[in-house]
Structure 1
């Protein structure tokens, strides 16, 4: 059934739900295909492990990114597992939808989706009967934030042996101090989005013991300067125009500024004026981006202190490839076409779409490799002084045009 289902996702037809796929196949009935995806007794773990192994073979390595994001599946009604009015980043608004935390392994601008895990809002985790009807497994009924789900998925990727050099995420994850600290605790490099309102300290902040005028001496040190917002700290920095890669319409450029800081995400301490203040954390990079539209974005990264601004910018902007993967999974492989209501059915359907996507990526890479090889052969057989399109210098793998899915 697995090859049949994957072939149905890849094949022709606008709708990739069970009924139309079974009708187009002609040899497998709807009941068979529905039973396989919604209630068949089989373990998804070996397939998930095989998917990670194939992704690592294609794009894994020290220069690969592991990109954390989420994607929304719009839904009507209230019975599909995890559906609720919630903010959908892909839609840019609050909508009735399911929200899945996604993990993408990518390098050379080639993404391979390796994880999709449903987030359950409080309206679900506070209702055991509702979760039971949707067949949510017992060990998945605990309320978890999206950053907590992401850490569990990252641990699964690490356990599989998949190789990557840096974790990327937007501010929905990066603004969580516990998420960043969990990444650091695992010895991972990361570059994540940050709220412009996040308080930070300059890197040279010092901890002092103020002298108390009366009473007992203070037990804890405090910063010798107050924190300021990320936006305020970078407002007076020198902003430089940086190009991080060549796109289809030329070089991609933007204004960037960076400064070493210590994020105010340490333990909370009561100050003399009775307010609570977070202490400085580890020293990291604070990076700002000013886009041509006037929009400003902020990021934080624990990349080494000698990292260049261009490398910081290229690392931050590498996250865009996961959006490409989300779009193709939905538009061409029917990620958002599943019509069942259960946890197991949704996650099996998502796994099948990821396997289909990985298969198509291998085909695209092979096609691109043949094209490159053929161009090189043609270039060596052309008469001297005669230049054709085949004898022009090839673009690098990071900018090479790939065939469409």
Structure 2
């Protein structure tokens, strides 16, 4: 695919972007490596290996071993960078929803954090892979990843030695629905973008119904596609509720036990002409059916973004074996993708000399 460097004057826009997103890094050498890594993701054709990206950056002081050290061994916190990336992106796009999307990353080995063999519905077969959940800012034309969770199977969650070797904290092993709620809690504040709904097609995930309950308890508006489950809403059997009733415009109250917080009503709808047919659930009982279907359609933007991240931005190319390293790499991948999609496009990408290695010294 054709990538963009966005300026005929050189790398100034990329340097300014790196200054904003990674300005929290305490050392100037870390900030230089962040900028070089971004340039490598944008300028390197084919696989984004550290060796290939270092060659593309062509900065003598940033050799492959220092790039690997920066990503895999360094202890810098990725969360401030992701929060700043979300702010940067929100200023440049008309955000209509927060999107949740699963990304499956095929792997050959067994040592990368979270790698395991599982059946992947989208591929129709079992794959040796990592499974990640991304949180996206979504408009009608774009989906920008701003946060990630790595989903750990039991083989990793129940093996302290394996987790220790990969530097995986004990609280990282949570079900998909809790990981999704953690992403929502971390990124969505009480105002501003907190008012836009959460949109997700998680019909292939077993925890989607627990997710919508968690969103309901948080009073977050949502539009979520559910996995078929015999026609009952989440918790219906435990509460003795009646069967699931389909069709936008029919609100179904959620009555919990007397001691539990009252959940908002919800409604169900489907997207005409889509195959396979999915049942969507929403908390927005007063929104017109057309609006709800437009919101559900935003999930396709997140799906396209995951595909682009894999084909041109290094989502599939992390080579390390540490959990922090994976998060560092995914932060860089997300930032490179956001820069590529949202900066003005003023020229073709160039390999060769990257940004001035001292451009970030004063940050």
Q: Equivalent residue for 2:317?
A: 337
> RMSD of the TM alignment (CA)?
2.9
Q: Distance in 2 between matches of 1:18 and 1:109?
A: 31
- Residues 162, 122 of structure 1: CA spacing in aligned structure 2 closer, same or farther, 3 A cutoff? farther
Q: Which moved more, 1:20-29 or 1:336-345?
A: 20-29
303, 307, 329: which one aligns with 1:349: 329
- Residues 342, 258 of structure 1: CA spacing in aligned structure 2 closer, same or farther, 3 A cutoff? same
Q: Equivalent residue for 1:49?
A: 83
Q: Distance in 2 between matches of 1:172 and 1:339?
A: 28
**1:298-309 pair list within 5 angstroms:** 298-305=279-286, 307-309=287-289
TM-score by length of 2: 0.75
Greater strand fraction, Structure 1 or Structure 2 = 1
Q: Equivalent residue for 2:134?
A: 102
Unmatched 5+ residue regions in structure 2? 1-32, 347-363
CA contact (8 A) 2:142 2:301 kept: yes
**1:25-104 pair list within 5 angstroms:** 25-26=57-58, 27=60, 28-59=62-93, 64-88=96-120, 90-104=122-136
* CA displacement at 1:289 relative to structure 2: 3.2
1:287 equivalent to 2:269? Answer yes
Q: Distance in 1 between matches of 2:255 and 2:122?
A: 28
CA contact (8 A) 2:225 2:279 kept: yes
TM-score by length of 1: 0.68
Q: Deviations over 1:1-57 (max 9, x none)?
A: 000000000003211011211233332211111111111232223212211211221
Unmatched 5+ residue regions in structure 1? 206-219, 235-256, 269-279, 368-405
291, 297, 300: which one aligns with 1:311: 291
1:145 equivalent to 2:175? Answer yes
1:157 equivalent to 2:187? Answer yes
Q: Secondary structure at the match of 2:137?
A: strand
Q: Distance in 2 between matches of 1:196 and 1:323?
A: 20
Q: Equivalent residue for 1:191?
A: 223
Q: Distance in 2 between matches of 1:322 and 1:258?
A: 23
- Residues 363, 92 of structure 1: CA spacing in aligned structure 2 closer, same or farther, 3 A cutoff? farther
Q: Deviations over 1:306-354 (max 9, x none)?
A: x222112111111110011111111111111111111111111110010
* CA displacement at 1:265 relative to structure 2: 8.5
* CA displacement at 1:161 relative to structure 2: 6.4
35, 43, 47: which one aligns with 1:15: 47
Q: Deviations over 1:259-314 (max 9, x none)?
A: 5143788569xxxxxxxxxxx97532111234365x32111111133x22211211
4+ residue runs over 6 A deviation = none
Q: Equivalent residue for 1:327?
A: 307
Q: Secondary structure at the match of 1:59?
A: coil
Q: Distance in 2 between matches of 1:125 and 1:189?
A: 31
- Residues 296, 108 of structure 1: CA spacing in aligned structure 2 closer, same or farther, 3 A cutoff? closer
- Residues 165, 264 of structure 1: CA spacing in aligned structure 2 closer, same or farther, 3 A cutoff? closer
Q: Distance in 2 between matches of 1:162 and 1:196?
A: 34
- Residues 135, 128 of structure 1: CA spacing in aligned structure 2 closer, same or farther, 3 A cutoff? same
Higher relative CO (Cα under 8 Å, sequence separation at least 6) belongs to 2
257, 260, 280: which one aligns with 2:250: 260
Q: Which has the larger radius of gyration?
A: 1
Q: Distance in 1 between matches of 2:180 and 2:170?
A: 19
Q: Distance in 2 between matches of 1:265 and 1:335?
A: 42
Q: Equivalent residue for 2:15?
A: none
CA contact (8 A) 1:200 1:261 kept: no
